Structures are given as structure tokens and as C-alpha cells.
């Protein structure tokens, strides 16, 4: 292109803006092409975050992941999507979250910002985990998929069995009623109940007495029980008579010692009993004595 040819082309096409003329210039187009050739292609992320050694490039790739996450999370909120489409979106979102963690870890390793501590927790308000801390999350319509809805259904809390320590922890003197009389209320109630019980017992006794008098029986209940009391007294008297007194016990001990002495001296029979008994002696103790 010669200056004359440029002027001829300008006259043929009409007036042209200055910026557009500079862009169409051969030198400018060469400079732009050379700059684009030397620029690193950032459109495709490396497969491994460890392959990138530039912090700025890592930040660019992390920004790309955030944009894709935002777009997919917005898309999965549509409950009208097919089930397989929702599952694919949820898997892709979890994969991007893991990839974002790899890039943030690589940025921290290269001396960049610590996004684990400073960056806000994105998309966590909408996500739910079956097992907290395991990593896989469900977003939007994925939480209502068949088989997933049952996982998030809250079970009724089970009643925990209390231990013996917990049951005895709240037991004090009031539980056993040791301080029931301190306020004076129980005494008044017992006094009123005692008076009522005595009055009722007195009325019942008078009614039974009137019935016995009408039937011709003794008026007093103790009179009807006199025969039984007499039999008990006679039985007790016989028992007292059968017991040996102090003199009989001493006499029995003395006789036992005599038999032992005679047995040692050879003056008794084989059984150790004496040959002659004292006249008038009464044996009131067992033979084993």
C-alpha cells in the first residue's frame, strides 16, 4: 500500500474514524497478532492444579471455576428439569467444588492468599450433606430426588435411657418426706384425719354393742374373749411349773460333779451313774445334765 493508494481507498469508501484507521493499519495488526501469540492461553485449565506455577494464573482459573459454579447452582434450582439432568448437574457441582479446593490449596502453596480462611463459604446455605464432613452435597432440586428425600427426613429423637446416677442426682430429703412436718400443714391434716377416724371407730363400736345387746350377747367384747384368755393363762402356768428353779439347777450340777468324781475313782457303774440316790430328790433336769 502506497500513500496514494491509501488516499484513493479513503476517497472511495468515504471518511473513516481515526481509531478504526489505526486498527486497520498493517503494523497495528501485526503487533496485535504478535501479542496474542505470546499470551498464555487461559481458556483451558490444566488437568492438575500442581502443574501451574504462577499465582496469578491460579487465581484466574479459580475465578473461572467460581463462575461455572454459580451458573450450575442457579440452573439446578429449576425443579422442572429431568431427573438425570439434575443428577448430572449435582455431580458436576461437587466436582467443581473439589477442583476449587485443589486450586486454593495450590495458591496457598505458592505463597498466595489463604482462601480457606478468608474466602466466604459459597453455596453452603443451599447445600445439604447426608453425612456432615464427607464432602458430597446436594443442591436445589437434587435434595428432592427419589431416594435422596428419605435421607434428609428427620427421625424422631429417641428417648435416652437415664443412668442410675442421673436418677439419683435429684433425690434429696424432700423425696423421702423428711421435711414434710416442717411447715405444719401436715400436722393439721393428720389431726383432722385422726379425729374423724376416732369418731368413726366410736360409732362402729357403739353400733356393734347395740347389736350384741339386741341379740342377748355380752355387751363387752372382752367378756366374750374370757375363755380364750383363761386357756392361755393355764398354758403359761403349766409352762412355768415345768421350768426348774435355782435350787433344782444347783442340785443337778452337784449330782453331775459327784458322778464324775465317782467315775474317776471307780466307784460308779459303767454309765457313770451313782449306785444310790438321795431319798426325796426330784429329777427336774434332763438326763444329759
Q: What pLDDT, in 10s, does the model give residues 247-270?
A: 888 899 999 999 999 998 875 454
Per-residue pLDDT band at 150 (split at 50, 70, 90): confident
Q: What pLDDT, in 10s, does the model give residues 133-148?
A: 667 888 888 888 888 8
Euclidean distance between CA atoms 262 and 114, whole angstroms:
116
At 10 the pLDDT is 54
Euclidean distance between CA atoms 98 and 155, whole angstroms:
30
Comparing 76 with 281, which gets the higher pLDDT? 76
Which residues does 110 contact at the CB level (< 8 Å), separation at least 6? 53, 54, 55, 58
Highest-pLDDT range among 180-184, 239-243, 244-248: 244-248
Euclidean distance between CA atoms 63 and 78, whole angstroms:
24
Nearest CA to 280 among 246, 247, 256?
A: 247
Euclidean distance between CA atoms 185 and 127, whole angstroms:
62
Q: What pLDDT, in 10s, does the model give residues 165-198?
A: 988 888 888 888 787 777 778 888 888 999 999 9
Euclidean distance between CA atoms 154 and 130, whole angstroms:
11
pLDDT higher than threshold 50 for residue 279: no
Highest-pLDDT range among 16-25, 176-185, 207-216: 207-216
Give the ranges where the chain is alpha helix by DSSP (H). 3-13, 18-24, 26-38, 55-76, 83-109, 115-118, 164-169, 173-176, 185-215, 221-224, 226-242, 246-265
| Residue 40: C-alpha distances to residues 14, 48, 145, 237 (Å) | 39, 17, 43, 129
What is the arithmetic mean of pLDDT over 122-139? 76
CB-based contact 252:285 (threshold 8 Å): yes
Euclidean distance between CA atoms 123 and 68, whole angstroms:
13
Comparing 280 with 185, which gets the higher pLDDT? 185
Q: How many residues does the chain have?
A: 289
CB-based contact 90:73 (threshold 8 Å): no
At 229 the pLDDT is 58
Comparing 6 with 256, which gets the higher pLDDT? 256
pLDDT higher than threshold 60 for residue 86: yes
At 23 the pLDDT is 61
CB-based contact 268:258 (threshold 8 Å): no
pLDDT higher than threshold 90 for residue 89: yes
At 194 the pLDDT is 92
The pTM (predicted TM-score) of the whole model is: 0.43
Per-residue pLDDT band at 120 (split at 50, 70, 90): confident
Amino acid at each position: 500500500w502506497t500513500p496514494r493508494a491509501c488516499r484513493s481507498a479513503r476517497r472511495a469508501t468515504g471518511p473513516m474514524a481515526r481509531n478504526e484507521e489505526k486498527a486497520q493499519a498493517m503494523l497495528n495488526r501485526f503487533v496485535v497478532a504478535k501479542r496474542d501469540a505470546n499470551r498464555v492461553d487461559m481458556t483451558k485449565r490444566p488437568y492438575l492444579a500442581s502443574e501451574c506455577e504462577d499465582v496469578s494464573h491460579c487465581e484466574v482459573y479459580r475465578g473461572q471455576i467460581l463462575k461455572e459454579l454459580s451458573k450450575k447452582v442457579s440452573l439446578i434450582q429449576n425443579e422442572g428439569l429431568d431427573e438425570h439432568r439434575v443428577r448430572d448437574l449435582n455431580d458436576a457441582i461437587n466436582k467443581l467444588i473439589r477442583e476449587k479446593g485443589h486450586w486454593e490449596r495450590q495458591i496457598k502453596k505458592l505463597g498466595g492468599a489463604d482462601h480457606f480462611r478468608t474466602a466466604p463459604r459459597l453455596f453452603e446455605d443451599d447445600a445439604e450433606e447426608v453425612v456432615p464432613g464427607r464432602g458430597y452435597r446436594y443442591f436445589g432440586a437434587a435434595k428432592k430426588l427419589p431416594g435422596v428425600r428419605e435421607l434428609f427426613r428427620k427421625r424422631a429423637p429417641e428417648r435416652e435411657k437415664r443412668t442410675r446416677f442421673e436418677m439419683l442426682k435429684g433425690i434429696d430429703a424432700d423425696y423421702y418426706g423428711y421435711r414434710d412436718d416442717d411447715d405444719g400443714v401436715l400436722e393439721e391434716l393428720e389431726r383432722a384425719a385422726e379425729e374423724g377416724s376416732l369418731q368413726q371407730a366410736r360409732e362402729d363400736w357403739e353400733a356393734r354393742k347395740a347389736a350384741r345387746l339386741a341379740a342377748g350377747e355380752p355387751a363387752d367384747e372382752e367378756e366374750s374373749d374370757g375363755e380364750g384368755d383363761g386357756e392361755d393363762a393355764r398354758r403359761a402356768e403349766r409352762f412355768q411349773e415345768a421350768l426348774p428353779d435355782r435350787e433344782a439347777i444347783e442340785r443337778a450340777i452337784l449330782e453331775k460333779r459327784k458322778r464324775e468324781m465317782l467315775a474317776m475313782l471307780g466307784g460308779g457303774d459303767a454309765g457313770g451313774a451313782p449306785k444310790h440316790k438321795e431319798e426325796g430328790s426330784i429329777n427336774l433336769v434332763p438326763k444329759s445334765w
